């Protein structure tokens, strides 16, 4: 069997097979995560909102009614208010942040194949169970299930980062890393677009069945085709193993010492990266979780058009991330700009650009076309986030990239808990002026966190990535401790 696979696949670069499966992993993860943001608009009974005329509440146009109204009769709906839906949407992240650090440590110690794979599989199973859970226990059951889904998905990025450190040479890091991580955008596009069409033609339970099945199918293919590192891969070519070893052996080691948390927690560039991640996640999660609500409740888009126009910004963001990632690698390889400055430039564009255009969208009032254009341009500019700060953890420490991703992404994910609650609190009547305040807060967070990244970020490998540095430091501290202990004994 292995010989047949090797004869068939020997000429296929296995790092790119991993990259494609990594893209599909994140795509599935995000599809299962965000499909609820669309589905929940059809799971809840619409409430009539009262608002002042000064708020310029958008009118309901004739084409906004029709087939969607039938869903109230054809699908069971629940009487959940805005606070309840905000809690449901944020509950995923309660579990999500918990498994980041364990997932990163396990991936570094045992490899990321199964910590990633089993996490996605568990999320797929819980997604399949969602309609049953909602019918059985309504909000309580759904919140518990979303927490469990978050626990499963919490290992995704730490495990992927650990595997990227084993599979991506420095000159391909921006492109492959961005390609994999930008699966989040494809997943958001796929999840929102397909959910809109499923809801239009069928009912909301079908959404969860479709994405749950796709997650299970991905797991089967993943187990058969991907491995922790090139040295374990049974049908990789010798040429590719040699190439990866030569390009990566300097900073990436098979068995580095235990994670040097003492140095990591004192690393200024790492905390700058954490700040940038918080800023990005604040804006991104606000859009992912609440843009469908804005399209539905404020602009009154039908469910089919809601899925279409809510997904468009993420499609252009994905295309932007691929183009700018290739450009970033070219700039670094040709020595046009330092790796550090490339990361800072990408992060700045991905912060200030989206912040400005999201504000512009909120002041476009009820001009639907202009609103969609503003959101789309803003999210397109956010695509530079991937060759900017998203791959920066691999720059700082290839050996401990899983733990770094766990820490950075885990802290950033707290935004996923906070932002839905802020939106539900600030937009009780879902009017334009209330949403403008939400978007101004997003802009402010972008500006502050980006400034921190510009001042303190680095694109260079840190001293504590070197196993010899870590070992010498520990021997020095142990020697000092033993010396102090001996002095106390003598005294």
Q: What is the CATH number of the domain that holds 450?
A: 1.20.1250.20
Please answer whether residues 402 and 107 qualify as being in contact, where contact means their C-beta atoms are separated by less than 8 angstroms: yes
Which one-letter DSSP state was computed for residue 336?
S
Residue 4 lies in a domain: no
Which of 371, 419, 298 lies closest to 41 in space, CA to CA? 298
Average pLDDT for runs of 10 along the chain of length 491 = 56 85 94 87 68 57 50 66 82 89 82 91 95 90 94 90 83 80 84 85 90 96 90 85 76 70 91 94 81 72 65 84 88 90 94 91 82 88 88 85 83 84 82 87 94 94 83 73 54 51
Torsion of CA 406, 407, 409, 411, to 10 degrees: 140
Residues 195 and 147 placed together within one structural domain of the fold: yes
Dihedrals φ, ψ of 366, to 5°?
A: -100, 10
Residues 104 and 173 placed together within one structural domain of the fold: yes
What pTM value is reported for the model?
Answer: 0.75
409: which residues sit within 8 A by CB, 6+ positions away?
A: 100, 157, 158, 277
Dihedrals φ, ψ of 364, to 5°?
A: -80, -5
Q: Which residues pair with 78 in a beta bridge?
A: 44
Residue 6 lies in a domain: no
pLDDT recorded at residue 53: 45
Residues 215 and 265 placed together within one structural domain of the fold: no
Angle of the 156-167 helix axis to the 173-181 helix axis, nearest 10: 160
Q: Which alpha helices (DSSP H) does 111-230 contain, by range?
A: 113-153, 156-167, 173-181, 183-201, 204-225
pLDDT recorded at residue 71: 47
pLDDT recorded at residue 72: 44
Residues 358 and 397 placed together within one structural domain of the fold: yes
Which of 74, 73, 89 lies closest to 40 in space, CA to CA? 89
Residues 404 and 304 placed together within one structural domain of the fold: yes
Please answer whether residues 256 and 456 qualify as being in contact, where contact means their C-beta atoms are separated by less than 8 angstroms: no
* Residue span of the structural domain in which 341 resides: 257-490
pLDDT recorded at residue 335: 86
Residues 229 and 298 placed together within one structural domain of the fold: no
Where b means 16+ CB within 10 Å and e means fewer, 461-487 reads: bbebbbeeebeebeeeeeeeeeeeeee
Residue 136 lies in a domain: yes
Distances (CA, A) of 240 to 161, 166, 169, 170, 236: 20, 12, 11, 15, 7
Q: Which helix (H) or strand (E) holds 303?
A: helix 303-333
Which of 378, 388, 284 lies closest to 345 in space, CA to CA? 388
Which one-letter DSSP state was computed for residue 154?
T
Instruction: Provide the token pair at 323.
Output: 């183009």
Residues 311 and 350 placed together within one structural domain of the fold: yes
Domain count, the chain: 2
pLDDT recorded at residue 217: 97
Residues 217 and 333 placed together within one structural domain of the fold: no
CA pair distance 179, 387, nearest whole angstrom: 9
Residue 91 lies in a domain: yes
Residues 84 and 216 placed together within one structural domain of the fold: yes
């Amino acid at each position: 069997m292995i010989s047949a696979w090797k004869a068939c696949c020997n000429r296929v670069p296995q790092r790119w097979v991993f990259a494609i499966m990594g893209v599909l992993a994140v795509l599935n993860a995000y599809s299962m995560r965000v499909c609820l943001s669309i589905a929940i608009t059809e799971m809840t009974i619409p409430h009539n909102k009262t608002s002042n005329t000064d708020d310029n509440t958008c009118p309901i146009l004739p084409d906004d009614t029709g087939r969607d109204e039938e869903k109230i009769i054809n699908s069971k709906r629940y009487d959940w208010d805005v606070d309840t839906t905000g809690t449901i949407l944020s509950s995923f992240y309660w579990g999500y942040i918990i498994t980041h650090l364990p997932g990163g440590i396990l991936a570094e110690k045992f490899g990321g194949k199964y910590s990633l794979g089993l996490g996605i599989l568990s999320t797929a199973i819980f997604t399949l169970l969602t309609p049953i859970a909602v019918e059985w226990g309504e909000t309580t059951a759904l919140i518990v299930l979303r927490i469990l889904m978050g626990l499963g998905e919490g290992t995704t990025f730490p495990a992927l980062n650990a595997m990227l450190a084993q599979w991506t040479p420095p000159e391909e890091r921006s492109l492959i890393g961005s390609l994999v991580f930008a699966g989040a955008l494809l997943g958001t596009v796929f999840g929102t677009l397909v959910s809109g069409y499923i809801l239009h033609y069928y009912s909301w339970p079908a959404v969860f069945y479709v994405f749950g099945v796709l997650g299970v199918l991905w797991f089967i293919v993943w187990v058969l085709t991907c491995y922790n590192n090139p040295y374990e891969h049974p049908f990789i070519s010798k040429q590719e193993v040699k190439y990866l070893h030569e390009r990566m052996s300097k900073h990436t080691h098979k068995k580095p010492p235990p994670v040097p948390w003492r140095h990591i927690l004192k690393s200024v560039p790492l905390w700058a990266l954490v700040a940038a991640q918080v800023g990005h996640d604040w804006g991104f999660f606000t859009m992912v979780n609440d843009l469908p609500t804005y399209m539905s409740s404020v602009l009154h888009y039908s469910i089919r058009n809601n899925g279409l126009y809510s997904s468009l910004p993420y499609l252009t963001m994905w295309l932007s991330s691929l183009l700018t990632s290739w450009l970033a690698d070219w700039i670094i390889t040709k020595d046009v700009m330092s790796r550090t400055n490339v990361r800072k430039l990408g992060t700045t564009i991905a912060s200030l650009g989206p912040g400005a255009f999201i504000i512009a969208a909120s002041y476009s009032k009820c001009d639907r076309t202009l609103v969609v254009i503003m959101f789309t341009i803003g999210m397109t500019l956010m695509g530079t986030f991937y060759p900017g700060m998203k791959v920066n953890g691999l720059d700082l420490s290839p050996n401990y990239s899983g733990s770094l991703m766990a820490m950075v992404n885990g802290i950033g994910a707290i935004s996923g808990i906070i932002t839905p609650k802020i939106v539900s609190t600030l937009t009780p009547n879902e009017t334009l002026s209330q949403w403008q305040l939400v978007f101004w807060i997003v802009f402010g967070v972008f500006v502050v966190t980006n400034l921190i990244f510009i001042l303190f970020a680095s694109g260079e490998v840190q001293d504590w990535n070197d196993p010899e540095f870590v070992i010498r430091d520990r021997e020095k501290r142990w020697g000092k401790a033993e010396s102090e202990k001996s002095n106390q004994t003598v005294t």
